[in-house]
């Protein structure tokens, strides 16, 4: 896909996920004009953007949100309207797309531009490094607080990013963190005073990762995460009922 092209739904629907390649870095921009709510079509768009990054031979990937929102997670208004088959499709798309990002054979960086709630937090955790804009924002996995047991695939991704000393608070107690608190807990790699500063920090990290040997990185990441990914997928089938 040439630089500046976008992965969007057909039929004139609003674009939600943008893609461009610049200086060897694939940049995915999440912007639905609202909270970047996730749905089955949204996961398909993200998957298409990942396809483009790999097809373009990108040396690194940067995922960024819109002002004030990285992502609020799943579209909660949509969930009650889904049939059992639709809910299963959504759950599988959610898990498989994020596990793919987590195992992507390209260095990945998240620029958390605002709130990162539930699936939004997991999206950040699926990246290798995380930078955030300072402000009145929350980074939170609130599933337990709203009555949703955390699936094993989500725990697998989260545990790769959250230090052991913070996992109970973050995962079991559903505690929300401001960006500065998340940085102090080791959940983030850096915080910028402004969104522009956060993006600068994230871009600098992505540029530094271009120097890695691509084949060695890809194989090392495969060895690090393949067993956990396969176990998470097996658990997904079990949790969804076979």
Which residues are catalytically annotated? Answer: 143
% residues pLDDT > 90 (the chain): 90
What does the alpha-carbon distance between residue 234 and residue 240 come to, in Å, rounded to a whole number?
10
pLDDT value at 241 more than 90: no
**Radius of gyration for the chain, computed over Cα atoms and rounded to the nearest angstrom:** 17
What does the alpha-carbon distance between residue 29 and residue 45 come to, in Å, rounded to a whole number?
11
- Is pTM beyond 0.95 here? no
The four Cα atoms 201, 203, 205, 208 give a dihedral, to 10 degrees, of -140
Question: What residue segments make up the domains of the chain, in order of their start?
Answer: 6-239
What does the alpha-carbon distance between residue 62 and residue 72 come to, in Å, rounded to a whole number?
19
pLDDT value at 11 more than 60: no
Classified as helix, coil or strand, 3 is: coil
Q: Tens digits of per-residue pLDDT, 189-228? A: 999 999 999 999 999 999 999 999 999 999 999 999 999 9
Q: Tens digits of per-residue pLDDT, 61-116? A: 999 999 999 999 999 899 999 999 999 999 999 999 999 999 999 999 999 999 99
Phi (first) and psi of residue 66, to 5 degrees? -105, 165
Q: What is the mean pLDDT of the chain?
A: 93
Q: How far is CA 10 from CA 31, 41, 84, in A?
A: 17, 10, 25
E strands of 66-217, at which residues? 68-71, 108-112, 114-117, 129-133, 139-140, 190-192
Q: Which of 60-64, 149-153, 235-239 has the lowest mean pLDDT?
A: 235-239
pLDDT value at 159 more than 50: yes
| CATH code of domain 6-239 | 3.90.226.10
What does the alpha-carbon distance between residue 94 and residue 91 come to, in Å, rounded to a whole number?
5
Q: Contact 106/54 with Cβ under 8 angstroms?
A: yes
Which tokens belong to 144?
Answer: 């337990």
Start-to-end CA distance of the chain, whole Å, equals 37
Predicted confidence band of residue 8 (pLDDT cuts 50, 70, 90): very low
The four Cα atoms 88, 94, 97, 102 give a dihedral, to 10 degrees, of -130
The residues, any chain, with a CB within 8 Å of residue 27's CB and separated by 6 or more, are 18, 19, 20, 21, 61, 62, 64
């Amino acid at each position: 896909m040439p630089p500046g092209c976008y992965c969007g739904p057909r039929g004139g629907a609003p674009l939600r996920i943008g893609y461009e390649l610049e200086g060897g870095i694939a940049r995915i921009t999440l912007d639905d004009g609202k909270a970047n709510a996730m749905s089955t079509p949204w996961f398909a768009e993200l998957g298409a953007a990942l396809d483009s990054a790999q097809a373009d031979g990108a040396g690194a990937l940067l995922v960024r949100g819109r002002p004030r929102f990285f992502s609020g997670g799943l579209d909660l208004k949509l969930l009650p309207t889904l049939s059992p088959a639709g809910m299963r499709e959504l759950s599988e798309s959610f898990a498989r797309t994020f596990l793919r990002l987590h195992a992507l054979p390209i260095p990945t960086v998240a620029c958390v531009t605002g709130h990162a709630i539930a699936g939004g937090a997991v999206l950040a955790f699926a990246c290798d490094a995380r930078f955030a804009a300072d402000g009145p924002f929350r980074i939170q996995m609130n599933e337990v607080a709203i009555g949703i047991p955390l699936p094993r695939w989500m725990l697998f991704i989260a545990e790769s990013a959250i230090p052991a000393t913070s996992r109970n608070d973050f995962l079991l107690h559903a505690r929300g963190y401001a960006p500065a608190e998340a940085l102090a807990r080791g959940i983030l790699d850096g915080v910028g005073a402004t969104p522009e500063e956060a993006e600068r920090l994230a871009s600098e990290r992505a540029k530094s990762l271009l120097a890695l040997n691509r084949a060695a990185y890809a194989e090392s990441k495969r060895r690090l995460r393949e067993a956990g990914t396969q176990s998470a997928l097996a658990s997904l089938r079990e949790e969804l009922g076979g």
